[in-house]
Amino acid sequence: MRKKLFVLVAMLLIAVVALAACGKQSTATPAPAATQAPAATEAPAATQAPAATKAPTKSAEVDCTSPDVFCVGLVTDVGQIDDKSFNQSAWEGVKEAKAKGIADKIDYIETTDAKDYATNIQLFADNGYDVIVTVGFALGQATDEMAQKYPNIKFIGVDQFQAKPVANVAGLIFHEDQAGFLAGALAAMLTKTNTIGAVLGTNLVPPVVAFKEGYEHGAKYIKPDIKTISTYHPGGLDNAFTDPEWGAATAKQAMDQGADVIFGAGGKTGNGALIEVASAAKSGKDVYCIGVDTDQWLTVPEAHPCLVSSAMKLITPGVFDLIQKAKSGDFPSGNYYGKTGLAPFHDFDAKIPQDVKDKLNEIRKGLLDGSISTGYKPGG
């Protein structure tokens, strides 16, 4: 009996110890929840405080309204900033001003609709810009209106002839007829079919007409009996320079009619013509193309198979020079003539006979000294 009692007591003691052990384990296991206490590690939400690091950006941003800051803005025509021709050349001049420390801040606005010309110019004016470059004949009226409204801002109107000088407006213009004349003379010396072509923007823009007239007269200066096929885009200012498909189709028509040299003068429309001629050249056709406004060897690599040269208006240095003059205080009013010329022959240099190069140099000198006339009559 005593033995049974002893066994019973022993079993009760074991049960008590076991329950005590279980009790200790259940209170210990929640402790790992304490390891989650580093939910306090979410305190690094404080590391998001560097949202305040945006403040220096704002305070460090250039303030164009400050008299110590020189800002230059550019408003494109509808041809856009990367037209690989006209607008792009002007923008390169603005970028050069920034690179050389003349401008503290530069920016551009692309115009998508002609009715927004004045609005886009106004955006720069309201933000305190010192110089506003407006690119293209079509912006002339809006530029003149804004210049009168903001007499303390200098305006550079690229391709905008100034009939009456305004103190704060410089019209950067060029002798496009002379560049076109050289291109036409080159085309006439290269053609084997005695037929050349030109794919052009709208004749509503005087510089386009000047290019075309110069091109035709330059060709006839070399070969009086040469045939020229020149075609203007039928559209208006809103699309005449942004229609590469039409440019390509028109170039093809001219080649089908025997033209073996094509001059593309019309922004992206002209670029379409150049690329079409290049495609024909790649397929084995003996054809050449000539670019416009800038050295298009550098901007339209697709045209390399045919691109012998470009009729250049040196827009980039012209824009840069006028920005520099605005900064230095000797900004001109009225018309400011930039330089023109032919671009290098690049890969075609070895194929151009020396007598052709000599003739072009002779013509260039004659154009500069007035002994050779391009035959172009503005407004005529």
Per-residue model confidence as pLDDT tens digits over 32-66: 343 343 333 333 333 333 333 222 233 358 899 99
Compute CA distances 328 → 133, 324, 325, whole Å: 17, 6, 5
pLDDT at 339 over 70: yes
Side chain identity at residue 190, one-letter code = L
Residues 202 and 215 in one domain: yes
Q: How confident is the model at residue 203 (pLDDT cuts 50, 70, 90)?
A: very high
Residue 209 forms part of a structural domain: yes
Give per-residue pLDDT as tens, 243-274. 999 999 999 999 999 999 999 999 999 999 99
Residues 188 and 298 in one domain: yes
Q: How confident is the model at residue 74 (pLDDT cuts 50, 70, 90)?
A: very high
Where is 132: in which H helix or E strand?
A: strand 131-135
Residue 340 forms part of a structural domain: no
Give CA–CA dist 108/120, Å, rounded. 9
Residues 243 and 352 in one domain: yes
Residues 238 and 107 in one domain: no
Q: Which long-range contacts (CB under 8 A, 24 or more apart) does 79-84 make?
A: 79/136, 79/241, 79/242, 79/267, 79/268, 80/110, 80/242, 80/268, 81/108, 81/110, 83/241, 83/242, 83/267, 83/268, 83/271, 84/268, 84/271, 84/294, 84/296, 84/299, 84/300
Give CA–CA dist 147/166, Å, rounded. 8
Average pLDDT, the chain: 86
Q: How confident is the model at residue 380 (pLDDT cuts 50, 70, 90)?
A: low
Query: 263 and 290 in contact (C-beta within 8 Å)?
Result: yes
Residues 181 and 162 in one domain: no
Give how far the C-alpha of residue 303 lies from the chain's centroid of Cα atoms, to the nearest Å. 18
Domain span at residue 123 reads 71-173
Q: Which domain-ending residue is among 173, 193, 215?
A: 173
Residue 254 forms part of a structural domain: yes
Residues 363 and 256 in one domain: yes
Query: 172 and 156 in contact (C-beta within 8 Å)?
Result: yes
CA nearest to 186, candidates 292, 73, 342: 342
Give per-residue pLDDT as tens, 6-41. 333 344 333 333 333 333 333 333 333 433 433 333
Q: Which domain-ending residue is among 123, 143, 173?
A: 173
CA nearest to 376, candidates 210, 139, 143: 210
Query: 137 and 159 in contact (C-beta within 8 Å)?
Result: yes
Give CA–CA dist 253/266, Å, rounded. 17
12/127: higher pLDDT: 127
pLDDT at 86 over 90: no
Residues 355 and 279 in one domain: yes
Q: Which domain-ending residue is among 140, 173, 206?
A: 173
Residue 107 forms part of a structural domain: yes
Residue 84 forms part of a structural domain: yes
* Virtual torsion, Cα 234, 240, 245, 246, nearest 10 deg: 20
Residue with tokens 């939400």: 45
Q: Counting every residue, how long is the chain?
A: 380
Residue 26 forms part of a structural domain: no
Residues 157 and 247 in one domain: no
Residue 281 forms part of a structural domain: yes
Residue 337 forms part of a structural domain: no
Supply the CATH number for residue 196's domain. 3.40.50.2300
Side chain identity at residue 101, one-letter code = G
Residues 263 and 228 in one domain: yes
Q: Which long-range contacts (CB under 8 A, 24 or more apart) does 150-156 make?
A: 150/125, 153/125, 153/129, 154/130, 154/326, 154/331, 155/131, 156/131, 156/132, 156/319, 156/322, 156/323, 156/326
Determine what percent of the chain is predicted with pLDDT higher than 90: 79
Residues 225 and 303 in one domain: yes
| pLDDT on residue 17 | 34
| pLDDT on residue 50 | 36
Residues 131 and 256 in one domain: no
3-state SS, residue 70 = coil
Q: What is the pTM for the complete model shown?
A: 0.77
Q: What is the CA radius of gyration of the chain?
A: 36
Count of domains for the chain: 2
Residues 148 and 216 in one domain: no
